[in-house]
Amino acid sequence: MGLIMGIDTSNYTTSAALLNQKGELVTEARKLLEVNKGQRGLRQSEAVFKHVEQFPKVIKELGVKALEEQIYKIAVSTKPRPTDKSYMPVFRVGEGHAHSLAEVLGIPLKEVSHQAGHLQAGIWSAGGPQTREFLAVHISGGTTEIMRVASLDGSFEIERLGSASDLHAGQFIDRVGVELGLDFPAGPQLEKLAQKGEKGAVIIPSAVDRYDISFSGPNSAAMRAVADNKRPADIALAVQSCIAKALEKVLRLALDEQGLDQILIVGGVAANLYLRQRLKDKLEHPAVGGRLFFAAPEFSSDNAVGVAALGLRDAK
């Protein structure tokens, strides 16, 4: 059975994956880009260098050499979002390697966006939405967007309804987490710390204007709580609660105004189990009427599985 390869070189992860023609995952490999303790990220030039350094290791771990005769197509993310002006240097690493591999193997190449890969990874791992049109949230360290999405034959038509006006949700988490002494990226550690928090001990109000969210004010409030020596666990819980409340507000509005009830939530922050349960409890209540689909936690963070699955959609 033939295989399709997906490649993604995002801000902090080098990823490659192989799916068979049934859409089943054969193998994948991912390596996080190392960030020194105390730092809150990487410059694009640093990230590009690290991708170049570790891409061959990812391909070796994927086992491409033993499977190359079965690979009949490559899909690669070449930009953050599916717009003409969307650009980020890190994606040029994956794009260049993908073009080289496709040329050597004599197979076709499909270019997609990183965001479309996240949406497809969500659908692939969650089994929905099943409708052609649906609402979606892409929430990570580099993106916080609320979207109306139409599924097309080979990709998606995306209308952005709103976004973060300053900090993204993942940046909010990372900045507070690093200030609390956690490693970057801080999401999983902050989630674990928050499990020991006391509800209401620290309150960080959410800031929402229709479909747009601001996290700069909440970030300042969290930093004041740190300076006031509030319990780290209570601060962590308050950060999670603030993000959940903000998303609940914008998604309630979208459910009221957009005439759609199925919601797909993807991106690294979507792996947070507190966030998932809180949104399901609030938005799937019969009085609200939403139906939520979350990318599986292991496919919420950056990966190449969704990229490969997008290539499969028009490869038949």
Q: How far is CA 163 from the centre of its chain?
A: 14
pLDDT digit string (tens) for 192-220?
Answer: 999 999 999 999 999 999 999 999 999 99
The token pair that represents 162 in the structure block: 């709103």
d(CA 272, CA 249) in angstroms, rounded, equals: 18
Both structure tokens of 309: 């699955």
Query: Residue 275: which residues within 8 A CB-CB, separation 6 or more?
Result: 240, 243, 244, 247, 269
pLDDT of residue 37: 85
8-state DSSP, 183: P
Question: Is the pLDDT at 315 greater than 60, yes or no?
Answer: no
What is the model's pLDDT at position 40?
86
CATH of 3-119+301-313, one of 3.20.20.10, 3.40.50.300, 3.30.420.40, 3.40.50.620: 3.30.420.40
Are 50 and 42 in contact by the 8 Å Cβ rule? The answer is yes
**Every domain of the chain and the residues it spans:** 3-119+301-313
Radius of gyration (C-alpha) of the chain in whole angstroms? 20
Q: From residue 177, give the alpha-carbon distance in Å to each of 1, 206, 214, 277.
A: 45, 18, 18, 21
> What are phi and psi for residue 109, nearest 5 degrees?
-125, 135
- pTM, two decimals, is 0.95
| pLDDT tens per residue across span 68-82 | 999 999 999 999 999
CA-wise closest residue to 129 among 156, 169, 111: 156
CA distances from 242 to 13, 19, 33, 105, 148 (A): 27, 37, 28, 49, 23
How large is the average pLDDT for residues 186-192? Answer: 97
Report the 10 Å Cβ neighbour count for 238.
26
Tell me: the pLDDT tens digits for 30-64?
999 999 888 888 999 999 999 999 999 999 999 99
What mean pLDDT do residues 6-14 have?
97
What backbone phi and psi angles, to 5 degrees, belong to 20? Answer: -90, 180
Pairwise CA distance, residues 104 & 89, whole Å: 24
Chain centroid offset of residue 12 CA: 11
Calculate the alpha carbon distances from 133 to 136, 148, 181 in Å. 10, 7, 42
Q: Are 181 and 193 in contact (CB under 8 A)?
A: no
